[in-house]
Amino acid sequence: MGKDILRNLRKDFLVEFRSRFALNVSASFAAIVTIAISLTAGGVPFPANVQAIILWIIIFFSAMNGLSHIFVREEDQGTALFLRTAVDVDSVFVSKFIFNQAFMAVILAVVTPLYLFFLQVRVVHAAHFIFSIAAGGFSMAAATTILAAMVAKAGGKGSLFTIISFPILLPVLWISVSSTSAALNAAPPAGGSLLFLLAFSGFISVISFLLFRFIWLED
Amino acid sequence: MSTAPYSLTGEGLAKKFGRSALFKGICLSAATGESLSITGPNGSGKSTLMKILAGIQKPTAGNVDLVSGSSIEKTQWLSHIGYTGPLVNPYDELTGLENIAFAARPADAGEQAGRLLETFGLGPHRDKKVKHYSSGMKQRLKLILAFLNDPPVLMLDEPGMNLDSAGTALLHSYLESVRKEKIIIIATNDPLEEQLCGRTIKLG
Amino acid sequence: MKAISAAVKSVYILMPAAIVMAFLWAPPAQVLGDSSRIMYFHVPIAWVSILAFIVSGIASILFLADRKGSFARLDGIAYNSAEIGLVFTVLTVITGSIWARISWGVFWNWDPRETSIVIILLIYIAYFSIQGAMAHNDNRGRIGSAYLILAMITLPFFAFLVPRIYPSLHPDPIINADRTIFLDDRMRSTLAVAIVSFTVFYCYILHIMNRMMKLQNHIEENRHEAD
């Protein structure tokens, strides 16, 4: 199975690298929104929790723009059946999961510094900040992998992905905002939020793994 | 992949989509060295029957079994079957060779790949992206991808589609050469391809 | 089946009884007076929302687990229950807002219960969006079921999370409505009757919807039998 996962990962990275469409859309979205907010804010920094909220809204919608791509592309380009015959179902899930995590990591790496710079964010607890962003992003990518598969099978059109992701990601968003906000405040932050995010990620990853075959395999 | 002979049997196969029945009561069997063709007008369910025989779709009624020594579990079937059809498309952004590397399972597939590329005349095009292939070249690549892992069962849905006469000749001669070691199932409307096979199942 | 059909028809007795009891028999509450009577509707309606959701979830799990398809149309049952659930969830929000306005002066508070019910509403919206997007797709049952199960499973995380988050973002609600209303015997029994009535009402509607679905399927499948 490990070989199959690598096989599919290598293929996905090659295909995505050559077209780069989804990454461009997500990154452009993040950049545009950040700059727009910074411009219209007129140079006055927002309070810490508002900064945290806006950051996560940008991350969320950047993710919504790109995280369904990895499955929707297979359906749109007609390669889903080829993939179905070439790689077993569990390996498909794990490789797409890893890809989405990598994709999310790239989005975070682009969005976060841009954001810190343009919105004059003062990070008080750097380690906690980084862990909050990383844990929140990981949870988001973990939960949305199977949702991307569902949306792809449902035709992948319009805002369906955002609509179905939102109820599931709400706990993640909430805790990520509160955790990030704590990292921007003077008081020492508690580690409970990070534990929550890791527990959530672990749990949803396992459930998704078990449910994936009902999405991917036809009747 | 075991060296015991394979046998594929289907009994009472029926498929309904929503409310409309596509076919029912289909019975068939094929063993290593035998071949089968499935014919019928467009929309009669040839592709669907192929998918059922490959274990990709479930029949509404009846069952299908793949046996080699002992019965093989359905989730494993695709590692014994070389499947291709109009809806099985290679990746446009990858070259022919990269698509082959993706689909190759056993470690020695590299040699097999080289030979197949030469046999089907795609050697000079191996490093071109598939989006630059003509439809005939794409079809040849699809066939290579199905034959690649030397599977004991071949299920080819409209294998001659888009092939010119040279391509068709190559396909027929390849099938002749492997006929004795494999089960070959072809879904087609082409009477020539139908003749390649032993028995015919008519749908529709 | 006949027994169920008979049992659910008891709603024709229970519901009027509940309404009469709620408006006439139960005494007005101490603080809120006659306005408190909304409790006899809000609590059962909220309960049915949860019940409908749970039934949908269980039907979805059974549907996916039923590999041989021996139980007919479990995905349809999940869908029907979800439809009822959606209506009742909206009604819960409406009756809850009215009650909140009466008790605390504001329509909406984002307290844990209100938040949970909004989450369920969002899940229903997502579920029906999937169903709508796949209207002519045979895979609809599996994918809708998988989504409902996934969403249902994330709810405990919410339940754990919400009380922890709220102290930091909002002041505690001063009054927790259910605990500060003193229920005497008549009020308690009215509430019990109301809860039972609405539960039977839910079963009744679900039963009718399931039968309709079965008949519709039968008609579609045997469309040409008379020919």
- Asked if residue B27 lies in contact with residue B202, where contact means CB atoms within 8 angstroms, the answer is no
Q: Which residues contact C70 (CB under 8 A, 6 or more apart)?
A: none
Are the Cβ atoms of C130 and A164 closer than 8 angstroms?
yes
Residues A107-138: pLDDT tens digits? Answer: 999 889 988 888 888 888 888 899 999 999 99
* C156 or A14, higher pLDDT: A14
Please say if the pLDDT value at position C30 is more than 70.
Answer: no
Which residue numbers of C have CB closer than 8 Å to B's CBs?
A: 136, 138, 220-221, 223
Tell me whether residues A77 and B92 touch, CB distance under 8 A: yes
* pLDDT surpassing 50 at residue B160: yes
ipTM: 0.91
- A218 vs B contacts (CB less than 8 Å): 51, 56-58
Domain count within chain A: 1
**B86 contacts in chain A (CB < 8 Å):** none
- Which residues form the domain of A173? 2-216
| Structure confidence at residue C31 as a pLDDT band (50, 70, 90) | low
**Alpha carbon distance A205, C153 (integer Å):** 12
Please say if the pLDDT value at position C179 is more than 60. Answer: no
pLDDT value for C173: 40
Question: How far does A71 lie from chain C, in Å, by closest CA?
Answer: 15
Task: Judge whether B84 lies within some domain.
Answer: yes
Tell me the C-alpha distance between C187 and A205, whole Å: 47
Token pair listed for B197: 């096979």
Exposure string of A120-159, with b = 16+ CB inside 10 Å and e = fewer, is: ebebebeebbebbbbbbbbbbbbbbbbbbbbbbbbebeee
pTM of the model: 0.89
Interface touch B94/A15, C-beta < 8 Å: yes
Q: Which residues of B touch A (CB under 8 A)?
A: 51, 54, 56-58, 75, 78-79, 81, 83, 85, 87-94, 98, 102-103, 145
Q: Is residue B3 in a domain?
A: no
Instruction: For residue C132, give the chain A residue with the closest CA.
Output: A154
Q: How many domains are there within chain B?
A: 1
> Domain of C126?
14-21+35-213
Provide the pLDDT for residue C169.
42
Contact B85 A81 (CB under 8 A): yes
List, for residues C199-222, the tens digit of each pLDDT value.
989 999 999 999 999 888 888 777
Q: What rounded mean pLDDT belongs to chain B?
A: 88
Domain that residue B27 falls in: 23-202
Is residue B138 included in any domain, yes or no? yes
Does the residue C220 lie in any domain?
A: no
Assigned domain for B8 exists: no
pLDDT, mean of residues C67-77: 78
Percent of chain A with pLDDT over 70: 100
Q: In chain B, what percentage of residues exceed pLDDT 90?
A: 39
Nearest residue, CB atoms, C126 vs list A163, A171, A196: A163
Residue B13 domain-assigned (yes or no): no
Q: DSSP string covering chain A, please?
A: -HHHHHHHHHHHHHHHHHH-HHHHHHHHHHHHHHHHHHHHHTTPPPPHHHHHHHHHHHHHHHHHHHTTHHHHHHHHTT-HHHHHHHS-HHHHHHHHHHHHHHHHHHHHHHHHHHHHHHTT---SSHHHHHHHHHHHHHHHHHHHHHHHHHHHHTT--TTHHHHHHHHHHHHHHHHHHHHHHHHTSSSPPPSHHHHHHHHHHHHHHHHHHHHHHHHHS--
Which residue of B81, B94, B102 is in closest CB contact with A7?
A: B102
In-domain check, residue C205 = yes
C166 band by pLDDT with thresholds 50, 70 and 90? low
Is it the case that residue B83 has pLDDT exceeding 80? Answer: yes
Residue C165 has pLDDT above 70, yes or no: no
The neighbour count for residue B39, using CB atoms within 10 Å, is 20
Tell me whether residue C154 is in a domain: yes
For residues A56 and B130, the answer to whether their CB atoms sit within 8 Å is: no
pLDDT at C227 over 70: no
**Distance in Å, alpha carbon of A72 to nearest chain B alpha carbon:** 14
Q: What is the mean pLDDT of residues A14-29?
A: 84
pLDDT of residue C170: 42
Q: What average pLDDT is seen over chain A?
A: 89
- CATH code at B59? 3.40.50.300
Residues of C with CB under 8 A from a CB of A: 64, 119, 122-123, 125-126, 129-130, 133-134, 137-139, 142-143, 145-147, 149-151, 153-154, 157-158, 161, 164-165, 168-169
Question: What's the pLDDT at C157?
Answer: 78
- Looking at the 3D structure of chain C, how many domains does it have? 1
Q: Which amino acid is at B172?
A: H
Confidence of residue C176 (pLDDT cuts 50, 70, 90): very low
* Region of poorest pLDDT, from A52-56, A163-167, A182-186, B19-23: B19-23
Does B182 reside within a domain? yes
Q: Which residues in C lie closer than 8 A to residue B19 (C-beta atoms)?
A: 220-221, 223
A-interface mutation test, from B51, B88, B149, most A Cβ less than 10 A away? B88
The verdict on residue B68 lying in a domain is yes
Q: Which residues contact C81 (CB under 8 A, 6 or more apart)?
A: C52, C53, C55, C56, C59, C206
Whether C220 sits inside 8 A of B17 (CB atoms) is no
The reply to whether residue B19 touches residue C138, judged by beta carbons under 8 angstroms, is no
| SS3 state at C45 | helix
Query: Quick check: B135 pLDDT over 80?
Result: yes
Asked if C126 and A166 come within 8 Å (Cβ–Cβ), the reply is: yes
